[in-house]
Structure 1
Amino acid sequence: MKDTFTTIARYNYSSEAEIIKGRLETEGIKVFLKDNITIDTDPLVSNAIGGIKLNVLAKDAAQARIILDSIPSHTLDNDGNTLVCPNCKSQQISLYSTINSFKSFFHFVIGIIFGTLPFSARYEYKCDSCGTHIDAKY
């Protein structure tokens, strides 16, 4: 049982997973990433397959979770300041792509028809705790 891997985190992008993988490996924890090549090949399937799974040996899972919990998970603006939700004061802010104009909708439709990535994308910050949209420059 100690030689089996267990999933301790999931990421949408391989760059995030690789950074955390490196951090855990510096602590002597063996790490295996699952589905990273699939998502690197087609990033649009990330949500469909549950993201990139960060797996560690079952015997190292508790230590790995402690290390993950010690890494701050907050969003910074362009000036390096932590974004805080004006509604609930949470620091759990994420950047989401959105379709909020005719131009972004048109590019989305063209991307679907021709199987390409969108020509342009609009992004917005949203609080993960209460769902408030946050006006910030990115």
Structure 2
Amino acid sequence: MALHITLATYTFPHQVLVDRSKLEAFGIACTVKDGLTIQVHNFYSNALGGIKLQVHPKDYERAREVLSDHPDISAEYPDAKLKCPRCASGNVDGVGLNGKIALIILMVTGLPIPVFSKKYHCFECHEEFKLPNG
């Protein structure tokens, strides 16, 4: 059995999956220690020192390089018809339902009538805004 060294530790099982998949995509064999135990008993995470992502010592430096590479995943939206007035990003979406008004209507009439909001949310600067003509 080959000896493995800990590359990183994680608190929750879902956190280790991304890095493990990334290492395996680059051809680096890795193991997860205490993952199943913590998956069954989440509260054991601190007691066991977290979930350990381990690699063979010869792959340690390369694995650190792979995990330290964080590509820029920001996207441009040149064809977006709606732009944020604050940062001019096209990465915006409607807020959806106006929960306060819908709740008041539900309390008064007893009918769950959805009331849609006219606000938009920018995912770049987190500004909420309304259209100037709306």
Q: TM-score, normalised by structure 2?
A: 0.51
Q: 1:4 & 1:55 partners in 2: Cα distance?
A: 9
Residues 38-57 of structure 1: matches in 2 within 5 Å?
38-57=37-56
Q: 1:38 & 1:82 partners in 2: Cα distance?
A: 39
Counterpart of 1:107 in structure 2 is none
Counterpart of 2:90 in structure 1 is none
Q: 1:59 to 1:13 in 2, by over 3 A?
A: same
- Tell me whether 1:12 sits opposite 2:11 in the alignment: yes
Counterpart of 2:62 in structure 1 is 63
Counterpart of 2:30 in structure 1 is 31
**Deviations 1:79-116 (CA, angstroms, capped at 9, x unpaired):** 64489xxxxxxxxxxxxxxxxxxxxxxxxxxxxxxxxx
1:46 aligns to what SS in structure 2?
helix
Q: 2:125 & 2:62 partners in 1: Cα distance?
A: 27
Q: 1:39 to 1:79 in 2, by over 3 A?
A: farther
Q: 1:65 to 1:46 in 2, by over 3 A?
A: same
Q: 1:66 & 1:24 partners in 2: Cα distance?
A: 10
Deviation at 1:71, TM superposition (A): 2.9
In structure 1, list runs of 5 or more residues that go unmatched. Answer: 73-77, 84-138
Q: 2:125 & 2:18 partners in 1: Cα distance?
A: 20
2:53 aligns to what SS in structure 1?
strand
In structure 2, list runs of 5 or more residues that go unmatched. Answer: 72-120, 127-134
Q: 2:47 & 2:125 partners in 1: Cα distance?
A: 30
The count of residues paired between Structure 1 and Structure 2 equals: 76
| Moved segments of 4+, more than 4 Å | 78-83
Identity rate of aligned residues, in percent? 34
Q: 1:39 to 1:67 in 2, by over 3 A?
A: same
Q: 1:7 & 1:62 partners in 2: Cα distance?
A: 12
